[in-house]
Amino acid sequence: MTSGTNSDDIAYPSSIGFVLIHVGCLAVFWTGLTWRAIVLAAVLYLVRIFAIGAGYHRYFAHRAFRTSRVFQFCLAFVAQTSAQRGILWWAAKHRQHHKHSDTAADVHSPAQHGFLYAHLGWIFVPRNDVTDYSAVRDLARYKDLVWLNRQPYLPAAVLAFATWLLAGWPGLAVGFCWSTVAVWHATFSINSLAHVIGRQRYVTGDQSRNHWLLALLTMGEGWHNNHHAYQASVRQGFRWWEYDPTYYTLRVLSWAGFVWDLHVPPKAVIRGDHKLGRQVIDKVAGQIAASFPINQIANQVYEALAHTPRWAELKARISSARTHAETFWSEVDLPVVPTLEEVRRYARERLAQTPSLEDIALRARERLLELIYSRLSEATMLPASASIN
């Protein structure tokens, strides 16, 4: 199995356990279905979805609150009962995702690698097996977490045995296998569906979206665009009606003293009044510029200039790289080249409201002119009859 845009083969041996637990769900036809097993499955789903959202994600990946050494280990252990590999592996991969969100370097971007690969295929690619300890130095100083990370499936095995002791074979098939598979795909849906369906309230430079159903299934993780707008927030439902049971539970735990220093987003972020960082502005501007028909515009510019008395001079300057894009466009004004106002309007129609719109539009037009100029530079090296592709 391969991804359409990724040449890595899926490592079948590493997926055997994943397949077996899915198949194990069918064992219910032989074990039977009991109320005890159903209740056990529901409880384990909720407990582990909370541990993933509060532990793996908000605490270990983003350090959105503080807690004790003991409760930290408990969160890690319970999160690892979900069989989503080790705590440090998970946090490192998630930090990498945010650093490169929806770019070619993103480990699970549906925009770059396809939906199925983003949903689960990336997990079984050999190059993604290794824990990047350099990305989690703040966590790797805890020996107990390093040990737990090196025993990624031990907590899940302990839980599986416990479900058998509590509810027999139905407890294992339904209580463990059903809830584990449900937790897997609910979690995976944030990597895949939350970058495909839903609403984008904030400009984040990626395809992260908010969706009420995903939030319902994951105890608040589905407010994904909110999260990408302010990653350090322990609260992902920014509006009062955006239910976030993981945050509510953490609030209760803070009253009991188990956690503290819960980070919440500034009001300016919630309102969308905050200025975007330079990195986000450049990323969004590049996306806006690339969405214009660059080759078509460059062809029109090429044809227009080729019929002017100055063409020989301009062509010589372009091909000799004596003229930079900024200098070139200060001397050339053609109606086929989108104006700043046109780029501004184009951006306004496609982006959420942001006070950084003007900065994005300015940078997008600069980038657009650079791209067109680059095509012109390539065209000067082609035969006169050739067109820009």
pLDDT of residue 314: 74
Q: What are 119-169's pLDDT values in tens digits?
A: 998 988 888 889 999 999 999 999 999 999 999 999 999 999 999 999 999
Let me know whether 182 and 327 are in one domain: no
pLDDT of residue 153: 95
Let me know whether 211 and 267 are in one domain: yes
pLDDT of residue 333: 75
Pairing of strands 66-67, 259-260: antiparallel
For residue 389, is it within any domain? no
Let me know whether 220 and 258 are in one domain: yes
For residue 49, is it within any domain? yes
Let me know whether 267 and 284 are in one domain: no
pLDDT of residue 334: 80
Let me know whether 172 and 59 are in one domain: yes
For residue 2, is it within any domain? no
| Mean per-residue pLDDT, 76-82 | 97
Domain tally, the chain: 2
Q: How far apart are CA 58 and CA 218, in angstroms?
A: 13
Q: How far apart are CA 312 and CA 325, in angstroms?
A: 17
Q: Write down which residue in 225, 245, 271 finishes a domain.
A: 271
| Mean per-residue pLDDT, 316-326 | 67
- pLDDT of 306 strictly over 90: no
Question: Dihedral, CA atoms, 252, 258, 259, 260, nearest 10 degrees?
Answer: 90
Instruction: Find the domain containing 299 and state its range.
Output: 278-379
pLDDT-based confidence at residue 3 (cuts at 50, 70, 90)? very low
1-15, 52-66, 69-83, 305-319: segment of lowest average pLDDT: 1-15
Let me know whether 256 and 287 are in one domain: no
Q: What are 247-280's pLDDT values in tens digits?
A: 999 999 999 999 999 999 999 999 999 999 999 9
HEC assignment per residue over 77-106: HHHHCCCCCCHHHHHHHHHHHHHCCCCCCC
- pLDDT of 302 strictly over 70: yes
pLDDT of residue 5: 44
Looking at residue 252, its amino acid is: V
Let me know whether 169 and 186 are in one domain: yes
Let me know whether 234 and 375 are in one domain: no
Q: What are 348-357's pLDDT values in tens digits?
A: 999 999 999 9
For residue 100, is it within any domain? yes
Let me know whether 166 and 302 are in one domain: no
Helices 357-379, 340-350: crossing angle, 10 deg rounding:
120
Q: pTM for the complete prediction?
A: 0.88
Let me know whether 19 and 118 are in one domain: yes
Question: Dihedral, CA atoms, 359, 345, 372, 276, nearest 10 degrees?
Answer: 20
* 229 in Cβ contact with 219 (< 8 Å): no
Q: Write down which residue in 236, 255, 271 finishes a domain.
A: 271
pLDDT-based confidence at residue 381 (cuts at 50, 70, 90)? low
Residue 82, CA atoms < 13 Å, CB-side half-sphere: 28
What's the maximum distance between 2 C-alpha atoms anywhere in the chain? 89
Ramachandran bin of 110, using left for φ above 0, alpha for ψ from -120 to 50, beta for the remaining angles: alpha
For residue 297, is it within any domain? yes
Q: How far apart are CA 210 and CA 266, in angstroms?
A: 19
Q: Write down which residue in 225, 243, 271 finishes a domain.
A: 271
Q: For a pLDDT cut of 90, what percent of the chain falls above it?
A: 74
For residue 386, is it within any domain? no
Let me know whether 44 and 186 are in one domain: yes
Let me know whether 260 and 226 are in one domain: yes
For residue 384, is it within any domain? no
